[in-house]
Structures are given as C-alpha cells and as structure tokens.
Amino acid sequence: ESIPMQTLQCYNNYVSLTTCTWMECSEAHEFLNIVILYFSVNRNKEMTCRSHTGENHPDCQNFTMHWVCNIYGYDQENYSFKFDLTLQADLNVYLFQNVQTLPPQNLSVTSMRSGDFLLTWKAADGSQGLGNALEYEVTYKREWESWEKAASLLLSNTTSCHLHHKDLVPGSSYVARVRARPGRASGFSGQYSEWSTEVSWETPEGGLQPRNLRCLFNGADRLMCSWEVKKAIITSVLFGLFFRATPASAEEECSPVHEKPLPHIPYVVQSCEIPVSNSSSQSQYHVSVRAKTEEKLIEAYKNIKVLPPKNVTVTMTKDQDYKLRWTKYTFDKKFIKQRYEAEYWKTSQMPKV
C-alpha cells in the first residue's frame, strides 16, 4: 500500500460529521497533488482538507505532511485517492519480438585426446520450442582474471563449443559460462538470458616455455606485448622480446622489459612496448620471446690468481730473529711481478697479519 492509504483513518460522530486523516511525503507532494475521494450517491466526491507538518515517516526522505479532511455525513465507507496527473504507461507486446529465455542448462566440460576441451550445454526447459532460433555467447577465462577480460565466442545452431589447447594457457585453472538469445536470422528478437552456472577445468602443465604471448596495437604508434614465465627460473634466465616489422627487416630487441607477479600462481607477467611507425591495415609484425644469451668480458690479465708459494720454511738468525723463505710460482711471462703477504700468529691465538 502507498503511504497515504497506509495512514488513512476515518471516524465519525454517527450524527453529522466524518473526519479523515492521512499522510504523504513532502518530496512526493512536490510533484503530485493528491485529493481524497469518498463515494456518495453513485459518484465520487472530493473531501475538503487542510495540512500541517508532522513527524517523519520511515519511508520519507524529508518531512511528512499530515492532512485532516471533513465531510458532512457519517454513512460513507469507500474512500480513494486521486492525482492531478494521469500516471500510466501502455505497451503492445509482440511475444516473439521480446524474448528473454532462461539461462542454458547442464553446462559441462570434457577433455579430449588432442588436449583440446569441449563445452556442452542444452537450452533451458521451456526454451526448446525456439529450436535453432537461439544463438549463444560463451565466455571463458582463468579463475583469477576478471570477466571483463574474458575471451568471448558467438555460436549459432549448436549447443557445444570446441576450445583448442593452443588458445589456452598451460597449467591454468579455467572457468566458463554461456548465455542465450534469439538469433538475428531467426525472425525473433530479444535480449540475452542470464548467465548459466559456471564450469571449471585445469589445463596440463606446459614445461618451462614462455606462455600466453599476446600483443595489442593501440591503433596509433604502440604495440604492447606481454607473456608469462615461471617465477622460479627468472633469477637464472633473462627473457627478451625480439621483433621484425617486416619479413625483410633486421630483428630488433624490445626494451625495457617490465615485470609484475601474477596472483595465486607461480608465474610473472613480463611486457614490453614496441614503437610502431608507418603502420597500415596490412602491417604484420613477427614477435618472439626467448631466453637471452648473456655474455660477460673477463680479461685474463686483470684477473690473475697466483698459485700459492711452495716449500715455506722458517729459520732463526744470529740475532734471534726469524726468517721465512719460500719458492715462488713462476709465470711464463717473466715481466709479471708478484707481491706477497705473510701471516703469523701464536698457536693459541687467531691469525694476525
């Protein structure tokens, strides 16, 4: 019931006067003028009312207007409210031009020998009468990704979807869902159903190879590429992105490579932005991610570690001193000079230089 009808109360003196009280929200009164009617002599008549501000009603945003209305007589029993505007909307509904089916049912996934996966479902109970008039949208993603970034497929005249393993990331947990709507070629129209219940599956591990390499062009001057590598090996292996703008171009390396961890899985995502010039609708870049060959120049003459001296002896001199002697290591290069460091200590103490 509306607040005016909820709060309507009428009482009489059973002689000559009937008084009715009711309330309305002030925000509603700004848009509508409401009058109360009573039924008398085969027709509705308006009551004379006055208002004042009263205690607020829990459903009103602002204050409440309280109305007090009087009529002469006491045998009225039917009351109603009338608005100064006609509040009404009409629509002719053509059933098969306004279809929204129930969500597809029994969504399931099957692993195939090829390593691919097959999604199957059936039309909702009560929707089978539309037959092949339905088309379906299948979306799938890794569990930790948002649905906004999910892959989407549009299918007609089928209740199955073949997902190729090359389009899936190895060693990942996937989830999929499906919804239906009348196909454009069916002569019917409407909107998508709600999504079906979700189904999930795991893809097998793919070893240590870089995975999920993908590139997106911003339509102007940048090609952003990203890929994923196993977190455990990135401290020992550096991966680089290499590209050719045309088959005849020299291969270039993209730099710098950025890196961030992925949530809940032992991988990191690496990315690099390739500058693009002279792009056209026929432009095709070849990109490759691979482990980089690292080199370090260590110059032999700057990194000599001499073998230790041999035949170390100690003798006492006439002056009660001690003299150390040893046989030095001899280089093939006679011009290389050697310097020596000697350590001595008491047997009960730590060595000192």
Q: Residue ranges per domain, the chain?
A: 3-83, 96-202, 211-291
CATH fold label, 211-291: Immunoglobulin-like (2.60.40)
Q: Options 3.20.20.70, 2.60.40.10, 1.20.1630.10, 3.40.640.10; which CATH number does 96-202 get?
A: 2.60.40.10
What is the C-alpha separation between 27 and 78, in angstroms, rounded? Answer: 27
Residue 82 has pLDDT above 60, yes or no: yes
3-state class percentages of the chain: helix first, strand second, coil last, to nearest 5: 10, 45, 50
**Surface-to-core class of residue 176, CB atoms within 10 Å of its CB (0-12 exposed, 13-18 middle, 19+ buried):** buried
The two domains 3-83 and 96-202 share their CATH topology (first three levels equal): yes
Beta bridge mates, 9? 21
Residue 214 has pLDDT above 70, yes or no: yes
DSSP state of 353: -
What is the C-alpha separation between 269 and 210, in angstroms, rounded? Answer: 10
Q: Tell me what the mean pLDDT of segment 303-310 comes to.
A: 89
Q: What is the pLDDT of residue 87?
A: 86
What is the C-alpha separation between 324 and 347, in angstroms, rounded? Answer: 17
What sign does the CA torsion over 332, 334, 335, 339 have?
A: positive
Q: What is the pLDDT of residues 86-143, one digit of tens each?
A: 888 999 988 888 888 899 999 999 999 999 999 999 988 877 667 678 899 999 999 9
Q: Tell me what the mean pLDDT of segment 237-255 comes to.
A: 93
Residue 75 has pLDDT above 90, yes or no: no
Binned at pLDDT 50, 70 and 90, residue 207 comes out as confident
Residue 353 has pLDDT above 60, yes or no: no
What sign does the CA torsion over 141, 146, 147, 150 have?
A: negative
What is the C-alpha separation between 62 and 25, in angstroms, rounded? Answer: 7
pTM of the model: 0.67
Binned at pLDDT 50, 70 and 90, residue 278 comes out as confident
Q: Options 1.10.3720.10, 2.60.40.10, 3.40.50.700, 3.30.1330.10; which CATH number does 3-83 get?
A: 2.60.40.10
